[in-house]
């Protein structure tokens, strides 16, 4: 019995030692590689729209005609789709005069602050472009539905609000690289934005 136990123990130790001879390399945790397209832009300059801007060649502009099941306030609401990244910039336009400027401004801040339960930070920065466009850019940190929002205005006639969304569960880590790539496009849109008089 003692001899059988010793033999089993010796055999087990031998198998453990023999099994440890292979070179094991732990695979690092990571995400899929994303191939980003080259940054090239085209002009959105449709007749009748009160604004123009440049947007990426790998995006498409779609007219938005429904807002929560109801018709939009005017025909100048659009979406800029990034199908490769399952992303979309929702753009809403409102006329100052038909709407009070103070109300539009407060609504823009309220829309951003709705993320405060999930946000770890909300940073804002002033926008002032060479084209005379002014506004505010919001960067919301954390696992939020839309980490990048902005509004543009001339304070007398035009007010435009934009927000970048992804068709994915909010996860700042996994969306970070794509979000950073598309934020460059959002900033390009803002810097090339012009109001039509």
pLDDT tens per residue, range 38-50: 999 999 999 999 9
Q: Which of 105, 109, 99 is nearest to 73 (CA)?
A: 99
Tell me the mean pLDDT in the region 91-104: 93
Domain boundaries along the sequence of the chain = 41-195
Q: Is the pLDDT of residue 179 over 70?
A: yes
Whether 149 and 112 have beta carbons less than 8 Å apart is answered as yes
Q: What is the pTM of this model?
A: 0.78
The pLDDT score that the predictor gives to residue 67 is 62
Task: For tokens 């695979």, name the residue.
Answer: 27
Q: What is the CATH number of domain 41-195?
A: 3.40.1000
pLDDT tens per residue, range 2-22: 777 787 877 777 777 766 666
């Amino acid at each position: 019995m003692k001899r059988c136990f010793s033999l089993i123990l010796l055999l087990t130790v031998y198998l453990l030692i023999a099994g440890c001879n292979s070179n094991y390399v732990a695979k690092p945790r990571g995400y899929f590689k994303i191939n980003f397209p080259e940054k090239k832009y085209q002009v959105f300059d449709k007749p009748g729209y009160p604004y123009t801007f440049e947007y990426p060649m790998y995006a498409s502009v779609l007219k938005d005609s429904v807002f929560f099941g109801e018709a939009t306030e005017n025909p100048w609401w659009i979406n800029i789709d990034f199908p490769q990244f399952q992303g979309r910039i929702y753009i809403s336009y409102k006329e100052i005069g038909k709407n009070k400027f103070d109300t539009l401004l407060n609504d823009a801040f309220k829309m951003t602050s709705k993320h405060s339960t999930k946000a770890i930070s909300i940073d804002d920065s002033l926008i002032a472009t060479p084209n005379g466009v002014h506004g505010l850019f919001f960067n919301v940190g954390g696992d939020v539905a839309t980490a990048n929002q902005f509004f543009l205005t001339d304070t007398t006639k035009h007010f435009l609000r934009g927000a970048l969304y992804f068709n994915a569960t909010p996860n700042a880590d996994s969306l970070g690289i794509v979000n950073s790539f598309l934020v460059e496009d959002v900033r390009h849109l803002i810097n090339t934005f012009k109001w039509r008089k």
